Amino acid sequence: MANEPWLTLSLTHRSFNDISSITSVLKNYFRALPDPLLTHELHEAFISAARESCFATFGQLEHRLIPLHAVQRDASAKRDALCALLRKLPPAHFQTLKFLMLHLNR
């Protein structure tokens, strides 16, 4: 029992309610994984898909320098590319990412 201090650890202590500490532990966990959540194999593809142009300023839209349908089409293409890449992730990676995103979206 002395070699297992986590068995007596109380998560009700106020130090466990510090959001910075919790996020730091989570970031360190993901950083320490042997294969990242968005795998090495798919890393460049995720970067390319995320950089797909779907950005327009309000002024560009307001002055009709960029048609709204073009921005929507670009955003749709970006979403489709990212979704296709997510389907290529290993199941455990996909499920972990899904759980994390659903939690962060709350």
pTM greater than 0.75: no
What's the CA gap between 66 and 68, in Å, rounded? Answer: 6
CA dihedral in degrees (12, 14, 18, 21; nearest 10)?
-70
Residues 46/81, Cβ–Cβ less than 8 Å: no
Residues 27/86, Cβ–Cβ less than 8 Å: no
**Where do the structural domains in the chain lie, given as residue ranges?**
40-106
Which phi and psi angles does 52 have, rounded to 5°? -50, 135
Residues 54/78, Cβ–Cβ less than 8 Å: yes
What's the CA gap between 94 and 38, in Å, rounded? Answer: 9
- The DSSP secondary-structure symbol of 66 reads S
Q: Which pLDDT tens digits describe the chain residue by residue (106 residues)? A: 557 766 776 667 666 677 787 888 889 999 999 999 999 999 999 988 887 655 544 444 455 554 555 555 677 888 888 999 999 999 999 999 999 999 888 8
